[in-house]
């Protein structure tokens, strides 16, 4: 017999790379030679073993193998079987796949534990500054949080009063934030959002640098506090309108209480919102069709088309300044010189001399207080020349005596677009633009505090009742014990805006509801703002710890690994069965 040198190249074996010499004769098959190598090297025989040259050429049958043997070439023993490491990979894949499926189903089935999300919204208004703490559950309702007011700090001082005075503004904001330490809050990383409204919008028209400075100071103070900094911004009038509308409809339940799954022809009956602050008037309602310049608003998985309008200079504080400017201008047209004249103020009940302890305590009388911004800028060049000749501290003198006709005459420019344009040239309300639907409208802010309260109205009142109560407040010395000097002007002006400006009349005046709270919660644009912010934080109600999309991806991955592992085990079982049979057969042949 002859001998041939074989090198073990079967990976994973204990004799890997070991060379062995085995005998052979011309009658031996390749399997016979491989079997002898396995016996010598203590390898488990596998019919998938084969011989290959150093150049990687596999022996193709006994004749070719013997040809290599005769030339003294050594061959390499290899195997097509999968190594133990590969089988371990199959087992690992199967285990990981099964665990992935179990874990994914568990995470999707187990609902997350809701947490309370908190945020502070600061209303930097034209006549006040207020900070409100809101909270909602992270378990959102149709993608939106059900926001609740928890705490409030209200200050009569507006941030605009610190224009050009960053030092005192810093102290003011630090004191405000320090007062929040007594709040019963649960979070340590509460964000503060600041929305500046009409007062800052008006100031920005004349003093943009001062506005930038105010915003920078506010943001810096928040950064140096324990709170997180949210957005510090000036809200547009449209945004303020949208937030007020949302606040009204969330609290009144018209959104949450509406049926789901409405068809395209069905409409949710929502309420409109009227918001009058110190600087501007905002109107918003859900437009069914035929409205221009609408904005889309989504909340609680519902979409609304909102028509909104803001009227700068129509907030009560700015309106009082414009009223005084109109009275002065009308008196100037009659005398050309007001230095020593008494100017009629026909919207005052002379029997009421007490002053309020709030921001609208008395009529302004000094030139610098009345003609302070664009709201009271009068176009008439002759009047402007005379006004420029007067010192800033010049004080006008007024004759306070109610006259219904003259009062209405001075209020006329507020709702007569043409007259307003002739006198002021800008910021004029055009009644033709207000195509008000026959909806319920909630009047908030000044509509409640400066109209309903002094008139002692019910939440809703008819046109005639309101008219009679206005006359009593303006004429009757015994009409009320709490009325103040400015009440007659306030109720007369607001009624003028509602009727001549917004077209509420004898037929639909009862659609108005004047409120400060709905279901025990304060109505303010800040609640609507927080509601929109809630959509950015939390998860939809009823979802598990992972979303549906992540569940589908992870489950598919786990199932694929499991199937791959099962297939690998099946192949492994078949190979092991064949290996056992062939090994038994080979040992029988060798014996």
Is 240 assigned a catalytic role?
yes
Backbone phi and psi for residue 50, each to the nearest 5 degrees, phi listed first: -150, 165
Cα separation, 349 vs 483, whole angstroms: 9
Specify burial of residue 558 (Cβ count, 10 A radius: 0-12, 13-18, 19+).
buried
Q: Report whether 467 contacts 537 (CB < 8 A).
A: no
Distances (CA, A) of 54 to 5, 17, 73, 353: 12, 13, 9, 115
Cβ count near 116 (within 10 Å)? 13
Q: Which of 471, 507, 500 is nearest to 488 (CA)?
A: 471
Q: Which of 149, 240, 282, 490 is catalytic?
A: 240
The one-character DSSP state at 405 is H
Cα separation, 375 vs 318, whole angstroms: 7
> If DSSP codes are grouped into helix, strand and coil, which group holds residue 572?
helix
Cβ count near 266 (within 10 Å)? 9
Helix axes 487-496, 463-475, angle to 10 degrees: 150
Q: Which of 529, 438, 516 is nearest to 275 (CA)?
A: 516
How many Å from the N-terminal Cα to the C-terminal Cα in the chain? 18
Query: Bridge partners of 522?
Result: 517
Radius of gyration from C-alpha coordinates of the chain: 43
Going 520 to 436 to 312 to 310, the CA torsion angle's sign is positive
Residue whose pair of structure tokens reads 């600041």 in the numeric block: 194
Q: Which of 228, 231, 123, 221 is nearest to 174 (CA)?
A: 221
Residue 209: in which H helix or E strand, if any?
Answer: helix 208-223
Q: What are the catalytic residues?
A: 240
């Amino acid at each position: 017999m002859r001998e041939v040198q074989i090198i073990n190249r079967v990976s994973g074996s204990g004799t890997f790379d070991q060379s062995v010499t085995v005998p052979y004769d011309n009658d031996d098959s390749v399997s016979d030679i491989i079997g002898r190598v396995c016996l010598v090297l203590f390898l488990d025989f596998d019919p998938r073993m084969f011989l290959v040259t150093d150049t990687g050429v596999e022996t193709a049958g006994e004749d070719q193998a013997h040809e290599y043997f005769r030339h003294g070439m050594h061959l390499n023993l290899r195997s097509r079987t999968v190594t133990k490491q590969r089988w371990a990979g199959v087992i690992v894949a199967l285990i990981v796949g099964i665990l992935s499926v179990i874990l994914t189903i568990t995470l999707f089935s187990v609902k997350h534990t809701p947490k309370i999300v908190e945020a502070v919204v600061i209303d930097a208004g034209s006549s006040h500054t207020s900070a409100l703490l809101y909270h909602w559950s992270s378990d959102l309702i149709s993608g939106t949080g059900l926001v609740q007011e928890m705490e409030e700090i209200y200050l009569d001082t507006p941030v605009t009063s610190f224009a050009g005075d960053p030092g005192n503004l810093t102290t003011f904001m630090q004191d405000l934030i320090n007062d929040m330490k007594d709040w019963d809050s649960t979070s340590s990383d509460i964000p503060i959002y600041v929305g500046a409204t009409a007062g800052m919008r008006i100031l920005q028209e004349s003093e943009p640098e001062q506005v930038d400075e105010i915003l920078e100071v506010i943001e810096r103070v928040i950064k140096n506090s324990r709170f997180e900094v949210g957005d510090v911004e000036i809200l547009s009038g449209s945004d303020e309108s949208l937030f007020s509308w949302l606040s009204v409809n969330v609290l009144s339940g018209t959104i949450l209480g509406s049926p789901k799954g409405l068809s395209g022809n069905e409409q949710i009956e929502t309420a409109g919102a009227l918001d009058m602050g110190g600087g501007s008037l905002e109107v918003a309602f859900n437009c069914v069709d035929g409205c221009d310049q609408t904005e889309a608003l989504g909340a609680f998985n519902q979409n609304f088309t909102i028509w909104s309008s803001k009227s700068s200079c129509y907030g009560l504080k700015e309106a009082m300044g414009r009223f005084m400017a109109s009275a002065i201008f009308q008196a100037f047209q009659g005398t050309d010189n007001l230095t020593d004249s008494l100017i009629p103020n026909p919207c005052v009940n002379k029997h009421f001399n007490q002053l309020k302890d709030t921001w609208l305590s008395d009529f302004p009388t000094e030139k610098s207080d009345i003609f302070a911004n664009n709201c009271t800028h009068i176009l008439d060049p002759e009047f402007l020349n005379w006004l420029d000749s007067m010192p800033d501290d010049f004080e006008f003198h007024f004759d306070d005596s109610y006259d219904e006709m003259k009062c209405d005459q001075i209020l006329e420019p507020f709702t007569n677009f043409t007259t307003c344009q002739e006198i002021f040239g800008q910021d004029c309300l055009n009644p033709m633009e207000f195509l008000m639907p026959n909806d319920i409208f909630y009047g908030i802010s000044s509509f409640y505090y400066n109209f309903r309260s002094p008139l002692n109205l019910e939440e809703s009142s008819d046109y005639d009742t309101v008219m009679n109560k206005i006359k009593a407040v303006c004429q009757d010395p015994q009409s009320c014990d709490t009325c103040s000097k400015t009440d007659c002007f306030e109720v007369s002006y607001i009624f003028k805006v509602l009727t001549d400006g917004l077209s509420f009349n004898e037929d639909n005046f009862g659609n108005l509801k004047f409120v400060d709270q709905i279901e025990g919660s304060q109505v303010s644009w800040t609640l609507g703002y927080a509601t929109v912010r809630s959509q950015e934080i939390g998860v939809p109600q009823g979802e598990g710890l992972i979303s549906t999309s992540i569940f589908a991806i992870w489950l598919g991955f786990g199932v694929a690994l499991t199937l791959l592992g099962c297939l690998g085990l099946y192949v492994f079982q078949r190979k092991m069965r064949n290996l056992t049979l062939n090994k038994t057969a080979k040992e029988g042949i060798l014996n």
